């Protein structure tokens, strides 16, 4: 499957379809995206359509790419909680939360989240993309000014566009640059609403800001801070509660359940006033079917598991960070650039798209799944392998990776 033969088919298409075909055909072959069913660790029966999309039959691969940082998507306790809710509530919620979609599990999860994160209230969303659009739209309008880290997630940029607010982008994790811009904005207007957007763990960079300094800076200039904790939740901060934990000056924490918590869906957490405003005003919340109850149950069970681990003296987040430090050291010792940051995302910068794809294919031949990340997801000239650590990786995984990478 894929693109039709242009010469044979273009004449039969409507003008708008012809324009799309020409644009799609112009994408270089090396840069073209393809859907592949990797099915790591299990046999996989593909449909005929999926088989057409495969470059070669899927084989069992050691997963070094997914965001299932704690391996909870297959944890027995999480699966049992999801199965129990499935039997009780069915698969889908059937309607918006403001119609008939609110279930008891939603309320329980929101309460548990707020307590766990030290926030007054939390509100659930079906996806992190929706949550981020809702967060920016709730705090900013065309009269506001948004200042965003240059490498923030596309969903936050989509939120800025929805809000209509003008945008300035500060250098990545550069608080001096941010302060210069805040100072200029405050000098021009003492009353204009300023909104700052950042992440606690940048998913393609592996880097983190100084969260405490960031919060203090925003408070000094009266700016509302939205901190996206999607990739930090469960693996960074005290008890895996993210780098924003214990920082009451954050206007909204955005987080997801589809990464370290092994489920799906997302949330926003903040003070009671801000969450109430979201409830009353957010189209991204109002006009969507509620988070599937089975996913909410799985997320609640994952939070409970993390709390149990911490109360028993275990800290999966800390153990994962320690493992990440060892991997970074070993990768650098092998002659490769040391991956930035200190969390479970280890970007191995290689530069060209072709080089990144060649390394991905080399690793696949050695039984390792480590996907190449290319523009526009990352800036031109900074294609990379995104190595991701998980709590449940088997012993010897690092040696396998270094052996497959070989000499730089």
What residues are labeled active site?
67, 153, 199, 203, 228, 231, 259
HSE-CB of 363 using CA atoms within 13 angstroms: 26
Residues 38, 41, 44: CA angle, nearest 5 degrees: 55
Provide CB contacts within 8 A for 138, sequence distance 6+: 252, 274, 277, 278, 281, 282
In this structure, the strands spanning 345-351 and 383-388 are antiparallel
Alpha helix (H) residue ranges in 282-315:
283-286, 293-311
- How many angstroms separate the CA atoms of 55 and 364, rounded? 12
DSSP state letters, 59-100: ---EE-S-S-TT-GGG-HHHHHHHHHHHHHH-S---SBIIII
Report CA torsion sign: 55, 58, 64, 65. Answer: positive
Q: Helix 128-139 crosses helix 154-163 at what angle (to 10 degrees)?
A: 40
- How many angstroms separate the CA atoms of 180 and 376, rounded? 28
Inter-residue contact 292 to 89 (CB < 8 Å): no
Rg over CA atoms, the chain: 22
- How many angstroms separate the CA atoms of 101 and 107, rounded? 11
């Amino acid at each position: 499957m894929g693109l039709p033969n242009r010469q044979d088919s273009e004449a039969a298409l409507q003008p708008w379809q012809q324009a799309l075909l020409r644009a799609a055909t112009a994408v270089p072959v090396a840069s073209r995206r393809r859907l592949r069913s990797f099915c790591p660790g299990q046999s996989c029966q593909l449909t005929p359509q999926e088989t057409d999309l495969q470059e070669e039959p899927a084989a069992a691969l050691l997963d070094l790419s997914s965001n299932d940082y704690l391996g909870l998507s297959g944890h027995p306790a999480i699966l049992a909680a999801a199965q129990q809710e499935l039997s009780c509530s069915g698969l889908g919620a059937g309607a918006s939360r403001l119609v008939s979609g609110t279930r008891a599990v939603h309320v329980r999860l929101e309460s548990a989240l707020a307590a766990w994160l030290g926030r007054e209230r939390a509100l659930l969303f079906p996806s992190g993309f929706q949550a981020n659009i809702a967060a920016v739209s709730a705090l900013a309008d065309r009269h506001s000014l948004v200042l965003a880290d240059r490498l923030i997630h596309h969903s936050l940029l989509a939120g800025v566009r929805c809000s209509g607010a003008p945008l300035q982008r500060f250098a990545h994790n550069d608080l001096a640059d941010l302060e210069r811009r805040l100072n200029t904005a405050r000098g021009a207007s003492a009353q204009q609403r300023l909104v700052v957007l950042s992440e606690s763990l940048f998913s393609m960079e592996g880097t983190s800001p100084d969260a405490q300094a960031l919060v203090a800076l925003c408070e000094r200039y009266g700016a509302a801070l939205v901190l996206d904790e999607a990739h930090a939740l469960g693996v960074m901060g005290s008890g895996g509660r993210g780098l924003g934990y214990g920082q009451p000056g954050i206007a909204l924490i955005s987080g997801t359940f589809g990464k370290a918590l092994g489920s799906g869906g997302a949330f926003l957490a903040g003070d009671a006033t801000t969450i109430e405003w979201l409830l009353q005003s957010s189209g991204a919340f109002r006009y969507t079917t509620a988070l599937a109850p089975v996913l909410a149950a799985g997320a609640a069970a994952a939070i409970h598991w993390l709390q149990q681990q911490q109360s028993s003296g275990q800290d999966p987040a800390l153990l994962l960070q320690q493992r990440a430090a060892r991997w970074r050291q070993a990768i650098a010792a092998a002659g490769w650039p040391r991956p930035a940051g200190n969390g479970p995302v280890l970007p191995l910068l290689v530069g060209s798209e072709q080089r990144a794809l060649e390394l991905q294919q080399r690793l696949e031949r050695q039984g390792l799944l480590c996907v190449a990340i290319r523009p526009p997801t990352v800036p031109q000239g900074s294609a990379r392998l995104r190595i991701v650590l998980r709590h449940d990786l088997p012993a010897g995984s690092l040696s396998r990776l270094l052996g497959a990478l070989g000499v730089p």
